[in-house]
Structure 1
Amino acid sequence: MLARGGDSPLGLCEIYIFLVFLEFFIYSFFQ
């Protein structure tokens, strides 16, 4: 569910949250 703009602040925020969640998932997986 990314913003259709691409350069909109909401889209960047969602991408940032997704990257943080992915990093946390990888960290928990290798823990």
Structure 2
Amino acid sequence: MIVTSSVYSAFSVVNKLLKNYSQREDNGCK
């Protein structure tokens, strides 16, 4: 369970960073 929790945390951080990057790209296009 501990390993799964760590993977989930890492995935959440990566997903958050990708979302922020996507928003920056959208703002740049507009």
**TM-score, normalised by the number of residues in structure 1:** 0.71
Which of the pair has more CA radius of gyration? 2
Bigger fraction of residues in helix: 2
Between the two proteins, what is the percent identity of the paired residues? 4
Any runs of at least 4 consecutive aligned residues in structure 1 with deviations exceeding 3 A, and if so which?
none
Question: What do you get for the CA RMSD once the two structures are aligned?
Answer: 1.3
Q: Which runs of 5+ in 2 are unaligned?
A: 1-5
Q: How many residues align?
A: 25
**TM-score, normalised by the number of residues in structure 2:** 0.72
